[in-house]
Structure 1
Amino acid sequence: MPSPILTHSYYSDFFAHKGYAFLKKIAADYTPPSNLVIFSVMHCYEGSLPYINVLAELADSLVFIPKSATAEQNQALKGTIQTIPHCNIVDDHFNKQSLRDPLVAEALIRQSISADSQFLILDHGGYFSHAIEYLSQVFAEQCVGITELTANGLYKYLNKSFDKPLVTVSHLSIKAPADYEASECIVHYSDQILREEFGLKINNDEFLKVGVIGAGNLGRGVIQYLKGKEISCIQVADIDSRKLTQFPRNGVQVSSIERLVSQCNMLFCCTGNGALSEALLDSLDKSVFIATVTSADDELRLPELIASGALIEVGGNNLVREYHTRNKQSLYLLAGGESANTPFKTGMGDPTLYLFEAAHMLAGLQLLEDSHGFKAGIQALSETDEIMIAERWLHHFYNYG
């Protein structure tokens, strides 16, 4: 068997081999069925290579659907992924937008499976959510189930009626370390963009007033790293007031979303779903800079805002996209409207990435082993499984126990 392709650049394999070995240990407890096809939606990161290799070894065919935010910036890496045995990257026209059409999703699956294939969908961001009701009927005998990695992706599956199991790992506590890692990158890279494109520093209190919308793992992480940059006046808002009770004692000002937007001009949107309403954008009386923790398509529902005329795109580059509100105020989306950590080699230098990858993979393996043990619709990976992953990870990387 050839050596796995774990890195794209010669200098970046410090954790890749250990990560690959860890994921292999998790998978070793299961024997997937023959003629298995796995559809995997994933960021096109170098840090994902160990995971892609393990999935490709589990399946007869791994159909890799790269998320557009990172695929466009990492064309050379896509070439490396294409050389992994049993791994096939989909054509560019199979993307988040086109897969909203059930017939397009059906066409992708039909071209990838044979008559006796079983297939599993490892989703990331709800790519198959719009088509799942249709797919679960058309492929009733061959679709084993779905797993979903993210909270914003899970949201898209809510209120859908489908008779296949969906196992979510979006709210596991073992995802928190990777969320804090992402938060650090988001703050750091937002600062770099402000410096390079606007000649500003993020801690320029005289010009930038910083607000954070959303007080989940990512929002709390963003606040932590903002405070590390000695930003003294941070406002935070969340629709769930319980999440705000921790902040006053830590010197962070709690606020309504309306007041925060009216007073701040550097916004970190950390909700995963619709952080800024059309009415709030219409109320803007100044230009604002916005960094999002996921694609602006989800975080701001950007296509809807453009369709309604609340935002009009006027230009920009891969670092900044500029939009105008109805009141002619400028809205600058940092990182081109994608999560502000996408330019970084996510997962490189920090093995927390392998925690949620292991959970995502394990959920799929359990579906393959006993899909009848899961009910139709949405359910979470068990606490027992989460503890097992945490203990094995601690032992593998840090000699725990």
Structure 2
Amino acid sequence: MPKPILTHSYCADFYADHGYQFLKTLSQTHTIPDNLVIFSVMHSYEGSLPYINVLAELADKLVFIPKDATLGATPGLLTTISTIPHCHVVSTQNNKAYLRNPAHCEAMIRQYIDVETPFLILDHGGYFSYAISHICETFQEQCIGITELTANGLQKYLDKPLSKPLVSVSHLSIKMPADFEASECIVHYSDQILREEFGLKINNSGFLKTGVIGAGNLGRGVIKHLKAKGITNIHVADFDPRKLTQFPRDGIKACSINHLVEHCNMLFCCTGNQSITPEMIDNLSQPMFISTVTSADDELHLPDLLANDVLTEVHSNALTKEYKNKQGHSVYLLAGGESANTPFKTGMGDPTLYLFEAAHMLAGLKLLDNPHQFKRGIQALSEKDEMMIAEQWLKHFYHYA
């Protein structure tokens, strides 16, 4: 077997190989059907290469669907990914918006299968959610099941009738370390973009008042890293008031989303589910800086805001997009509205990313090995499987005994 392609430009071979060996060892414990096709939605990070290689070795074809957020930031990486044996990079037109159309989604799948090909969908962010009922019905004998990596992606599947099992790994405890790692990157790179584009420091309280919408893993992580930068006057809001009860004792202002948007001008949107409404945009009385942990599509429903003239784009570059509301107040989307770490070379910071990749892969392997152990509809990976992944990860990277 040829040596796997684990690096593109800058990552250490040692580190990438260490992650590859961990995922490879885990993958060898399950039976894989012949002629399997895996459709995998994934970020175009260099740090994803070990995982992509392992999936490509499992499948007869791995169909790689790059997420919109990192598609433009790393065009050369797609060329590298396309050279991995058995890996097929889809046309860049097959993005999230394209796959929302069931007919388009079906046509994309048919490009890579024949009438007897079994296939598995490893989703990330609900790319297949809009068409999934049609796909399950159309490919009843071939579609083995779906796995979903993220909480905001799972949210998009909740109201869809599913005739196949969907195994979610979005709320596993072993995802928490990677979520906190991501939140550190998002705070760091938001600060870097503010410095580069506006000459502002994120902890300059004379100019910026900071608010965090969403008190899940990522929101709490953002707050932790904001505090580490010396920011003390932080507002936090969430749709679920129960999640806010932990903050007042730490000197953090718990408030409604409306109050937060009214009083803060540096927002971290951490819900993945329209944290800011068109009415809030209309009522802005000052310029606003926004950093998201998912995308402006998820957090603001940006295409609708533009289509309905709630916002008008006036300027953009590699790091920032500026829009104006009807009153002429600017809305600055850091990283163009994508997660603030996506314009940079991230994904190899530490081995926590292999925890959630292992869970995502294992959910698919369990479906392939014995799909009858799962019922139709949404379910979580078992606690036993999660503990096994944690133990193997600790042994592999930290000599846990």
Shorter-chain TM-score tier: over 0.9
Residue 254 of structure 1, CA deviation:
1.3
Q: Structure 1 CA distance, aligned partners of 2:380 and 2:76? A: 36
Partner of 1:387: 387
Q: Structure 1 CA distance, aligned partners of 2:150 and 2:367? A: 18
Residue 10 of structure 1, CA deviation:
5.2
Tell me which amino acid in the other structure corresponds to 1:270: C
Deviations 1:207-264 (A, max 9, x none): 1001111111111111111111101211111121111111122121111111111111
1:250 counterpart = 2:250: yes
Partner of 2:77: 77
1:3 counterpart = 2:37: no
Q: Structure 2 CA distance, aligned partners of 1:82 and 1:95? A: 17
Partner of 2:314: 314
Deviations 1:138-195 (A, max 9, x none): 1111000100001111111111112011111111111111111111111111111111
Deviation above 3 Å: which 4+ runs of structure 1?
none
Partner of 2:50: 50
Identical positions, percent = 68
Partner of 2:163: 163
Deviations 1:314-341 (A, max 9, x none): 2211211111112221110000111101
SS at match of 2:130: coil
5 Å-filtered alignment, 1:177-256, equals: 177-256=177-256
Stretch of structure 1 that moved more, 347-356 or 337-346: 337-346
Partner of 2:65: 65
Residue 298 of structure 1, CA deviation:
0.6
Tell me which amino acid in the other structure corresponds to 2:364: G
Residue 278 of structure 1, CA deviation:
1.6
SS at match of 1:15: helix
Partner of 2:37: 37
Residue 11 of structure 1, CA deviation:
4.5
Matched-pair contact (CA < 8 Å) for 2:292–2:338 = yes
Matched-pair contact (CA < 8 Å) for 1:182–1:346 = no
Q: Structure 1 CA distance, aligned partners of 2:58 and 2:345? A: 25
1:270 counterpart = 2:270: yes
Stretch of structure 1 that moved more, 213-222 or 344-353: 344-353
Q: Which runs of 5+ in 1 are unaligned?
A: none
SS at match of 1:41: strand
Tell me which amino acid in the other structure corresponds to 1:364: G
Tell me which amino acid in the other structure corresponds to 1:156: K
Deviations 1:104-142 (A, max 9, x none): 111111110122210000000111111111111111110
Q: Structure 2 CA distance, aligned partners of 1:11 and 1:247? A: 38
SS at match of 2:129: coil
Q: Structure 2 CA distance, aligned partners of 1:66 and 1:89? A: 8
SS at match of 2:13: coil
SS at match of 1:9: coil
5 Å-filtered alignment, 1:91-102, equals: 91-102=91-102
1:284 counterpart = 2:284: yes
Q: Which runs of 5+ in 2 are unaligned?
A: none
Tell me which amino acid in the other structure corresponds to 1:187: V
Q: Structure 1 CA distance, aligned partners of 2:260 and 2:99? A: 36
Residue 364 of structure 1, CA deviation:
0.5
Partner of 2:345: 345
Q: Structure 1 CA distance, aligned partners of 2:292 and 2:141? A: 39
SS at match of 1:326: coil
Q: Structure 1 CA distance, aligned partners of 2:250 and 2:203? A: 18
Q: Structure 1 CA distance, aligned partners of 2:304 and 2:55? A: 35
TM-score normalised according to structure 1 size: 0.98
Matched-pair contact (CA < 8 Å) for 1:292–1:340 = yes
Deviations 1:347-366 (A, max 9, x none): 31300000000000000011
5 Å-filtered alignment, 1:330-341, equals: 330-341=330-341
Residue 280 of structure 1, CA deviation:
1.4
Partner of 2:111: 111
